[in-house]
Amino acid sequence: MTLADVAIGTTVSVTDIVADEVLKQRLLDMGITDGAKITVRRFAPLGDPVEIVVRGCALVIRKEDATHIKVKQ
């Protein structure tokens, strides 16, 4: 399962990031590391991007980028 498939209000934990160097480093820097807890808070009115909460901080990420983040419940 990837972060893009997670329903609103669900908290998941990161298992892997499958992305190119730039995106991966950016995600890691923002605290999306293996084992980090991510809560999906809401989708934008047009369905994309998605607002998530990582380490107490609200982030906005596009679904396209979210598909690179593998997660488990």
Partner 1 sequence: MTQAATNLRIALVGNPNSGKTTLFNALTGTHQFVGNWPGVTVEKKEGRLKGHQDHGGSGGSGAGNVTITDLPGIYSLSPYSPEEIVARDYLLNERPDVILNIVDGTNLERNLYLTTQLTELDIPVVVALNRMDVVERDGIVIDTALLAAELGCPVIEISALKQTGLDALTATLLETACVPHTPKPLQLHAPTGTAEDIAAARYAYIDALVDRCVAPAPTDRPSISERIDAIVTNRWLAFPIFAAVIFFIYFISITTVGALLQEWVADGLFGDEWGIPALAAHLLAALGVTTWLESLVVDGIIAGVGAVLEFVPQIFMLFVFLAFLESCGYMARVAFIMDRLFRRFGLSGKSCIPIMIGTGCSVPALMASRTIENESNRRMTVMTTSFMPCSAKLPVIALISGALFGGAWWVAPSAYFVGIAAIICSGIILKKTRLFSGDTTPFIMELPDYHLPTAKAILRSTWERGWSFVKRAGTIILLAAVAIWFGANFGFTEDGFGMVAMSESLLAMLGNALAWIFAPLGWGDWRATVATLTGLVAKENIVSTFGILFNFSEVAEDGVEVWGYVAANFTALSAYSFLVFNLLCAPCFAAIATIRREMSNAKWFWFTIGYQGAFAYAMALCVYQLGTLVSTGRFTLGTVAALALVAGFLYLLTRGTEELTGEHPQHHQHGSDELMRHDRAGDQPADSTTECRFQYENQCHACRHHNLMCPGLYSKGKRTAEDTGDDDGEPDER
| Positions in the binding site for partner 1 (CB under 8 A) | 17, 20-31, 33-36, 42-49, 51, 54-62, 65
Nearer to partner 1, 53 or 73 (CB): 53
Nearer to partner 1, 2 or 51 (CB): 51
**Quick one: residue 48, left, alpha or beta (phi over 0 = left, psi -120 to 50 = alpha)?**
beta
Read off the tokens for 70.
Answer: 């593998």
Nearer to partner 1, 10 or 55 (CB): 55
Least distance in angstroms from the C-beta of 67 to partner 1? 12
Helix (H) or strand (E) holding 55: none
Read off the tokens for 13.
Answer: 């934990």
Least distance in angstroms from the C-beta of 2 to partner 1? 15
Read off the tokens for 71.
Answer: 């997660």
